[in-house]
Chain A
């Protein structure tokens, strides 16, 4: 069994190495035809002329190719900017499509082979490693050695993992031209699913889904004997695979708009952007259905489900970000900061992002209905700021890249505007709470340590107070790790749900508020 895990680890590392090396393969040769194919009509003439010196030249690395390409465009743009000819500047970044089209590499000839050697091996290795875990051991809590681990306690392995993730996200969001080899690798798969060529987002979606599935298997092993954890994990695996990955691609194949039926504004911050509204309104009945479905989720779905079940129905059962956090991020859940100070920062930040998202969306809608006479192009600037700062930097780079540094819910806790909205409903109008079991708490601290949201669960448990916190995603791990059976996630009557001044039972000498 140990050997199988060792083989798994070897396969995983081999796959990861291949994945890291593949972007460096091949040569880049650009031609006039490529430029014409991959630029907008208004830029075609100019781009053709700007890039002419590069035609026919063979670049042996993506670095020299992309540097020269960007240099040519930048030089042209800076001249125009100096002369304040803003409308002539080429704002579009063509480096990704041009690099993709100019590449000639072995990956294009054998995409399936390369896919297998890289992502395939990591998946296989991950399964080999996870499936035999805890075999032959009785069911129970498997937290042995976590704080002695170099991976899970901010040791060098954790630092390395975090840095790799951050680097991956930075390239994905801002320098995708450097990963065209990887995109070519998933090209045939994309053609099968949606009939369209692959983009970096398809590659990302595929990796994301596979990561949730492989690490979901790990959750089944780790929490065997805990049905709540298993069902919840199966749920996020299902929603990611079906709703976030397959259904949108298949919709495109059927000539329908790309749509993730479980993504909700304001997490899906671009839902009300004009281009998306136009796509939906121009796609017939199904487009209208999608628009109405999306709005219904916001105004009816969120309050109703959260009233009955707490925000967990979304955050730890359905959501994609939550899905990644609960599977890939689970080994890092103990790294969240539990201090009162971080709770204060959390409240400012998350509600700040919510306000920003709401204001931006309100302006966008107002602008749309005034036919852009209200603010003109200003909303575009706002969109690109939000997309950069919140959508990419916060949710992606920090949200996932920081797993090994600050725990697996950094984004959900400090940034997600939908979590803020769900949280307000949960705090003020919901049947959900974590009940504490009378006087049974021994203040050991397992609950607080393993709370991914940084809630100091013990603070409440030891004074017999129900835990009613807007941030609680209802993962149920506090209840699982409690050695004395003190915590229970419950939906129940609102009366008595919030007990600010609890009395610990068991002492008849005096009735005290703990």
Chain B
């Protein structure tokens, strides 16, 4: 069986690997090579924090056993690609090796943002994205770090704070916005996470911007200075103000790039037989009015990979994302979102329903359009079913129908407190309607957790 063509995928993150797997599923003949300098085997980037905190070993973050790749004839090459010869369809690797391809998939991911702060390259100052970043962080915090500052209040920032806390390092959290992740979360949710951050003894400082990072004279960080002039002593600085496409080695080539590699809805770049997916791709046009030009989450990376594989297999398939969803965990509080819940909205256009549990750690928000049709939900501290909301939002259910059926969306473990009934009660009250409040079984009420 001679290979029909050679597909080379640059990057073994979720986008590249998903593409490789679906290529193999759809075609037994093609030759597939995945190149990554970061690690030989695919691992879950989102789990790096757990390795640091001793919840898992690095090998546990690898979703497939090592034999999987050989069995599926996906060749893995661990090397860094330094230069691409698009004309000659050739890749030049750091080791001196060259690899030729028939079609190239660029899935090179992101790198942490650095905004040209003075001192941003000092020892002890870093972002967290790659396996190498994790190793660096382990080295940087091995000893002598008592205080740390994290710059940027987002998902990686809070992960880094949790990691540092494991090593009993005092953390100061600098957030430019008026609340944690306030550019994404509505005020109440942002406040809730902020309270929880303080409950974990982190020093959360909102409306605070970094001015410069100060060296101790030997090239190591000793403090940061904020825009208001305050100096905060620290031996470690985490830069977590977002990520941007990792495409430096492609700049200045015939490949069309902006912030990311420019692609159409088929993930085609301006060059024939060259595609880009995942964090490093930038759509020329939004795939959907609610979507960004660059999509940087795990789930979109996976969908890009699934979709592009079909195109390469000869079934041109434009990218059509479905109902948006995402999730995260802020220390101990889980978060899920389905559909569209922006940080702020026009009150005249959008109906807002918000419920918060007295513990201040559980909440639910639903936004509807002016006709009362659901736009999206946020849920914190309890779990809701993806399938339910995918359907409700797609079918434009009325808010009332969603709440009425909310018990079917409950995804919390058995015997957990019946938050659903509390939400229904509040909704009925606020809207002056009668609604059947769902009730757990007698047994569950007897021994289950109370509200």
Contacts and interface: CB of A to CB of B under 8 A. Distances in A.
Contact of B47 (A140, A445, A459): A445
Interface string B411-451: 11111110000000000000000000000000000011100
A141 B56 CA distance: 13
Given A444-B61, A485-B336, A506 B54 contact: no
Contacts of B65: 339-340
A509 B307 contact: yes
B336 A440 contact: yes
B444 to A, nearest CB: 10
How many chain B residues sit at the interface, stated as a range, is 35 or more
B72 to A, nearest CB: 14
A331 to B, nearest CB: 13
Nearest to A232: B415
B386 interface: yes
B207 interface: no
B53 to A, nearest CB: 5
Contacts of B328: 483-484
B332 A505 contact: no
A444 to B, nearest CB: 4
B298 interface: yes
A96 B186 CA distance: 72
A445 B44 contact: yes
A228 B387 contact: no
A444 B46 contact: yes
Contacts of A446: 47, 50, 55-56
Contact of A231 (B46, B383, B447): B447
Nearest to B266: A509
B328 to A, nearest CB: 8
A293 to B, nearest CB: 23
B383 A506 contact: no
Main secondary structure of the interface of A (DSSP, over half): loop
A138 B60 CA distance: 26
A226 interface: yes
B372 interface: no
B166 A228 contact: no
Nearest to A459: B63
Interface string B292-303: 000000110011
A392 B411 CA distance: 42
B303 A143 contact: no
Interface string A126-152: 000000000000111101111111000
A44 interface: no
A437 B44 contact: no
B386 A444 contact: no
Given A146-B54, A444-B61, A448-B60, A484 B327 contact: yes
Interface in B23-73: 44, 46-47, 50, 53-57, 60-63, 65
B386 A148 contact: no
B55 to A, nearest CB: 4
14 contacts: A146-B55, A147-B54, A226-B413, A438-B386, A439-B386, A444-B46, A444-B47, A488-B383, A488-B413, A489-B413, A507-B307, A507-B320, A509-B307, A510-B310
Interface of B: 14, 22, 44, 46-47, 50, 53-57, 60-63, 65, 166, 196, 199-200, 298-299, 302-303, 306-307, 310, 317-323, 325, 327-329, 331-332, 334, 336, 383-387, 390, 411-417, 447-449
The 7 closest A-B CB pairs, nearest first, are A438-B386, A140-B332, A485-B383, A444-B47, A148-B54, A227-B415, A508-B322
